[in-house]
Amino acid sequence: MIRVQREDFDPGAELTALTAENKAVGGVVSFVGLVRDMAAGQPIRAMTLEHYPGMTEKKLAEIEAEARTRWPLETSLIVHRYGRLEPGERIVLVIVASSHRQAAFEACAFLVDWLKAQAPFWKEEETASGTHWVDAKSEDDAAAARWRKPPHEAAE
Amino acid sequence: MIRVQREDFDPGAELTALTAENKAVGGVVSFVGLVRDMAAGQPIRAMTLEHYPGMTEKKLAEIEAEARTRWPLETSLIVHRYGRLEPGERIVLVIVASSHRQAAFEACAFLVDWLKAQAPFWKEEETASGTHWVDAKSEDDAAAARWRKPPHEAAE
Amino acid sequence: MKLLYFAWLKTRTGRAEEDVSPPDGIATVGALIDWLKTRGPGYAAAFAEMRAVRAAVNQEYVGLDHPIRSGDEVAFFPPMTGG
Amino acid sequence: MKLLYFAWLKTRTGRAEEDVSPPDGIATVGALIDWLKTRGPGYAAAFAEMRAVRAAVNQEYVGLDHPIRSGDEVAFFPPMTGG
């Protein structure tokens, strides 16, 4: 399941709801991304996440579907916020449940890396010197590239 | 922080409490282990986790300290239950918070693998045919061995 | 044809979206960009650094040689910096 | 010397813990096990499959050659199956 929303979410409530009644789940791995008060060595006051409504939901659903073809998952959830967020606020929640913990860890890391590189969100930061759009980090592309299938597998 | 307890825990409340007021945290990875209703292809009614009081706390604290020497973590928490647990109940919670998501993912996976292999807990399962002690799985040792430092690193 | 601009492409063009009818012969994303750049200094600034511009047609990421037709939704934006 | 038994070692020996005073000359975990096995069929059964027995002295995992002394807490258990 995926949700794109302005408002905050409750990680514990999502986690409980996601796995209630599914007793095949042995391990649940979750990721919560938070706004940090520093970015590139500079204090930041807030950030604003802009997104592409419609396409964002579509890309998140594609990413989730891809994870479910790669790992044997019982269930999964991606919640991503947009709008202005201050340090300490939650940005994104990814929860993956599987009967096997290793699958859950890998799929959750994959989803986070992949959505950072593939989901249409753009971050604007507010610092003492004004607001500016954040440049894409090559480390985010590198993290996503870890999960790219080698050509001989992709061709199968 | 580590806790060994009979009673259930609230993953969302723990997560919120752990990262409140720490605005250097960018990513929080958590693992919740749940009792499955099947084990080795057999339906199970319940399981009972026995532990070695005192030594359990000591080993968990050692494992957590080891993770904090290996990754730059802001904070971490391990909560492990003991006693009789039914399918769907929570067994263990591991939360790791870092300014960098990759460190949080790796440290959380390390802690879960390592505690399964190193923490003094023993599992007794109740099935239709009675109760029996569960044998250690070689895959758990293999998972823990992934994190063993090669000899030349360990010697440094 | 509906155009959408995000992040600093929106700031530079001065608009989040617009409807345009490019002249005949504008058949690819790249040709559309070349045409847009003639429409004023804001557009020229938005598309000055093509290394940092990404495009989507009908909500799929595409390259500059991707065909476009009337009725398409074409979006321009910098590389994603989400989460 | 305090002995602790967990999981099926507890079931087989019939006790969770006990205080023992092994005779002089019992200086290692292995020697202690050999002595315990002479104390009855439950002990013999508990230590019959040594491949599946682990030990800790004063809450540290040790091998069979680890020294023991009076006042130690010695625990016996199968490989861990936690979480």
Decide: pTM greater than 0.95: no
* Alpha-carbon span C53 to B120, nearest angstrom: 55
- In a domain, residue B156? The reply is no
**Which of A35, A96, A108, A88 minimizes the C-alpha distance to B16?**
A88
CA distance B32 to chain A (A): 5
- In a domain, residue B150? The reply is no
Residue C2 bridge partners (DSSP): C19, C73
Can you tell me whether residue C7 is helix, strand or coil? coil
Strands C73-77 and C2-5 come out as parallel
**Which of A91, A88, A111 minimizes the C-alpha distance to A49?**
A91
- Probe site for chain C from A50, A124, A137, A138 (most C CB atoms < 10 A): A50
- In a domain, residue A11? The reply is yes
Which residue in chain B has the smallest CA separation from D73? B55
CATH number for the domain spanning A92: value is 3.90.1170.40
CA distance B45 to chain A (A): 11
When the pLDDT of each residue in chain A is averaged and rounded to a whole number, the result is 91
Which residues of chain A make contact with B32, given a CB cutoff of 8 A?
A: 15, 19, 27-28, 30
- In a domain, residue A48? The reply is yes
Q: Is A130 left (phi over 0), alpha (psi -120 to 50) or beta?
A: left
Cβ contact B52–D82 (<8 Å): no
D83: nearest CB among B52, B92, B133 = B92
**Chains B and D contact (Cβ–Cβ under 8 Å for 3 or more pairs):** yes
Q: Which three-class secondary structure string do you get for chain B? A: CEEEECCCCCHHHHHHHHHCCCCCCCEEEEEEEECCCEECCEECCEEEEEECCCHHHHHHHHHHHHHHHHCCEEEEEEEEECEEECCCCEEEEEEEEECCHHHHHHHHHHHHHHHHHHCCEEEEEEECCEEEECCCCHHHHHHHHCCCCCHHHHCC
The label of the residue with tokens 């315990």 reads: D36
- In a domain, residue A152? The reply is no
**Which of B52, B73, B49, B60 minimizes the C-alpha distance to B111?**
B60
- In a domain, residue A89? The reply is yes
Residue A155 pLDDT grade (very low, low, confident, very high; cuts 50, 70, 90): very low
Residue B152 pLDDT grade (very low, low, confident, very high; cuts 50, 70, 90): low
Cβ contact C78–A91 (<8 Å): no
Tell me what pLDDT residue A154 has: 45
Sign of CA dihedral A82, A88, A34, A98: negative
Q: What is the mean pLDDT of residues D51-80?
A: 96
- In a domain, residue A156? The reply is no
pLDDT in tens, D4-25: 999 999 999 999 999 999 999 9
Q: How far is CA D34 from the centre of its chain?
A: 10
Predicted ipTM? Answer: 0.91
* Alpha-carbon span A48 to B25, nearest angstrom: 18
- Structural domain of residue B124, as residue ranges? 2-144
Number of domains into which chain B is organized? 1
**Which of C82, C53, C46, B24 minimizes the C-alpha distance to A48?**
C82
Spell out the residues 6+ positions from residue D67 whose beta carbon is closer than 8 angstroms to its own: D27, D28
- In a domain, residue B31? The reply is yes
